[in-house]
Amino acid sequence: MVAGGARNGTPGNDGAARFAGDGLACRRGERQVLTDLSFRVAAGGALLLTGPNGAGKSSLLRMMAGLLPAAAGRLLWNDANIETDLAAHRARVSFVGDRDAVKPGLSVAGNLASWAALLGRGADAAASVAGALAHFGLASLADLPARYLSAGQRRRLALARLLLAPRPLWLLDEPHAGLDAAALDMLKATLHAHRALGGMVVVASHGGLVPPDALRLDLAA
């Protein structure tokens, strides 16, 4: 299975970045999940991963993030194998998985502040947190313990992490889950703005979130 395409520019200092997979395979226990999978995404591009539950979408996203080793094949950033410097690759990725990873005992703002610290934000961390909360409509809930959030609010809080630090590659696993129509429109606009600046987006979804120009890779094919 192969998907490919190209656009120009990217946020940060990577120039006209390219992210690609070549002959990837993934095993889950004794089961082969993905075999001989290839793709190419250039700056400003989007890749939509589709397929039924268990097809390997989440596993592929974790491989792309450098969190799960491939059983075969290579992941390449600007033609260099990401395995040569996994720390550098992880520093260019923002990954939002299918679980929100929200700490219920922290406030809404406290959750984002914790993530900002992990991302190495310094003196501007407070401004980054405030901006992310405002962007995703959570500013009025900043001091609320996260345990009281609805499922949709928790999802918006998880997605707000994308705005804490500029990363060229966004990897999103079912990011629309739990979002109402207004929040979904907000997410679409956020993805569009990221791509307009040259960022890349890889989304596991059943469709409707990314525009028609996105590359599509059906893992059931």
Residue pair 29/199 in contact (Cβ under 8 Å)? The answer is no
Checking if the pLDDT of 48 tops 60, the result is yes
Nearest 5 degrees, angle CA 151-CA 152-CA 153? Answer: 95
Residue 150 CA to residue 55 CA, distance in Å, equals 29
What class has domain 1-92+167-221? alpha beta
Helix count and strand count (H, E) for the chain: 6, 10
pLDDT value for 106: 95
Checking if the pLDDT of 74 tops 60, the result is yes
Using DSSP's 3-state secondary structure scheme, residue 33 falls into: strand
CA–chain centroid gap for 146, Å, is 22
Residue 204 CA to residue 207 CA, distance in Å, equals 8
Residue 221 CA to residue 214 CA, distance in Å, equals 18
| Selected residue with higher pLDDT from 41 and 118 | 41
Checking if the pLDDT of 165 tops 90, the result is no
Q: Tens digits of per-residue pLDDT, 101-146?
A: 899 999 999 999 998 888 777 667 888 999 999 999 999 999 999 9
**pTM score of the predicted model:** 0.89
| Selected residue with higher pLDDT from 11 and 160 | 160
> Would you kindly state where each structural domain of the chain is located, as residue ranges?
1-92+167-221, 97-166
Give the up-direction half-sphere exposure of residue 176: CA atoms within 13 A in the CB hemisphere.
Answer: 16
pLDDT value for 1: 52
pLDDT value for 9: 36
Residue pair 140/130 in contact (Cβ under 8 Å)? The answer is no
